[in-house]
Amino acid sequence: MDRYPITGRSLEWFFDIDGDLFERQYKRHLSGYRQWKDTPEGLHAGQWRVFPQNIGPHLSIDETSLSRGELYTIVTNKEAHGRKHSIVAIVLGTDSDVVLRALRQIKSELRNKVKEITLDLSESMHRICRLAFPKASRVIDRFHLQRLALDAVQEIRIKHRWDAINADTDGRESAKIEGRKYVAERLENGDTLKELLARGRYALFKSPEKWTVSQRQRAGMLFRLYPDLKEAYRLSQNLRTIFNRRSTKDCARLNLARWYNSVAQAGFKSFNTIAATFYEHADEILNFFDNRSTNASAESINSKIKAFRAKLHGVNDTKFFIFRLCNMYA
């Protein structure tokens, strides 16, 4: 249990023991937690922990929830690939000043050795990276950008769906007033218009080569009925293609500029957020094309934390949970 994310309940099936009792005995006597929590490090562990020995040239930073929606900022070393020595720092909250105070417990000589750090679009994360790792190249995770584009497509779909729902409601009310039975018009696949707009959402999150037969049919119907949705989807897929293409930084700059112009010409308000993001963070976005780095290592740790938390059926003692996490991944 010191090295793997397992619980007492998972062991009781194999060893015929009382899992809850074993959990308590492990915490009190076997893990060393009772002695550790009163050490100088243990006293502030609920607020922050840093591991200078785990720092490397390529880092990721992200936020995750440990318990009851309480967010923690986690800095990870990419070279550890989500295993032992992954966690560089874990800090309660996302406030940049709080996180910076914790990270400055690591000597500046070590922090200055960081060459690259990947992050999301949060302004607090940008400030943390800029001040804590001043010599590191900052790279915005490409998947956050692609998600913004997909969300913009979904926003257009949702607007059309509300229009269809309102039209359906008006039709039902008219039928009721006229004393006749309301029958919604069915499309060639059997969906009503509002059903098509609801069920078509999954296809719009995928690239065309990953569509199922029914998703391909629904996408074709959506694009025929709503040309603006087709154009928005095309823009989102073009952005995906730019990031997938192994091009030089200068070539990517030109491709992204052309894509930006296409967004401006399309005039979709739902794309305003991503257009503003490109304008404000152009350099950090283009830095992706140096090493094609993403925040996958941070997402890997986040998924392991969520899986471990699920095995525990929630976290009752946050400090003990952090103690176990750091034993496994720091």
What are the DSSP calls for 50-68, one per residue? Answer: E-GGG--SEEEEEEEEEET
Report the distance separating Cα 65 and Cα 132, nearest Å.
22
Mean pLDDT rounded to a whole number for the chain:
91
Residue pLDDT, tens place only, 155-172: 999 999 999 999 999 999
Report the distance separating Cα 90 and Cα 82, nearest Å.
14
Pick from 8-17, 233-242, 315-324: least confident: 8-17
Report the distance separating Cα 50 and Cα 75, nearest Å.
9
For residue 17, pLDDT beyond 90: no
For residue 10, pLDDT beyond 80: no
- In this prediction, residues 260-267 reach a mean pLDDT of 91
- Structural contact between residues 242 and 252, judged by C-beta atoms closer than 8 angstroms: yes
Distance (Å) of CA 230 to CA 22, 104, 156, 159, 168: 57, 49, 10, 14, 23
For residue 181, pLDDT beyond 70: yes
The reported pLDDT for the residue numbered 66 is: 84
Pick from 14-23, 197-206, 241-250, 270-279: least confident: 14-23
The full set of domain ranges for the chain reads: 32-141+294-329, 142-291
- In this prediction, residues 99-122 reach a mean pLDDT of 95
The reported pLDDT for the residue numbered 286 is: 95
Report the distance separating Cα 131 and Cα 23, nearest Å.
41
Report the distance separating Cα 152 and Cα 262, nearest Å.
14
DSSP-derived letter for residue 12 is: H
Query: Contacts for 168-175 with beta carbons within 8 Å, 24 or more apart?
Result: 168/192, 168/193, 168/194
For residue 11, pLDDT beyond 80: no
The torsion defined by the Cα of 235, 237, 240 and 244, in degrees rounded to 10, comes to -130
Q: What value, to the nearest 5°, has the Cα angle with vertex 102 and ends 307 and 286?
A: 75
Q: If pLDDT is split at 50, 70 and 90, which confidence band does 308 have? A: confident
Report the distance separating Cα 35 and Cα 15, nearest Å.
28
The reported pLDDT for the residue numbered 278 is: 87
Q: If pLDDT is split at 50, 70 and 90, which confidence band does 1 have? A: low
For residue 4, pLDDT beyond 70: no
Report the distance separating Cα 121 and Cα 153, nearest Å.
19
- Structural contact between residues 47 and 105, judged by C-beta atoms closer than 8 angstroms: no
DSSP-derived letter for residue 274 is: H
Token readout for 108 is 């500046």
Report residue 126: phi and psi, to 5°.
-65, -40
Total residues belonging to the chain = 330
- In this prediction, residues 236-258 reach a mean pLDDT of 94
Maximum CA extent, the chain: 81
Pairwise pLDDT comparison (328 vs 100), residue with the higher score: 100
Q: What is the CATH number of domain 32-141+294-329?
A: 3.30.420
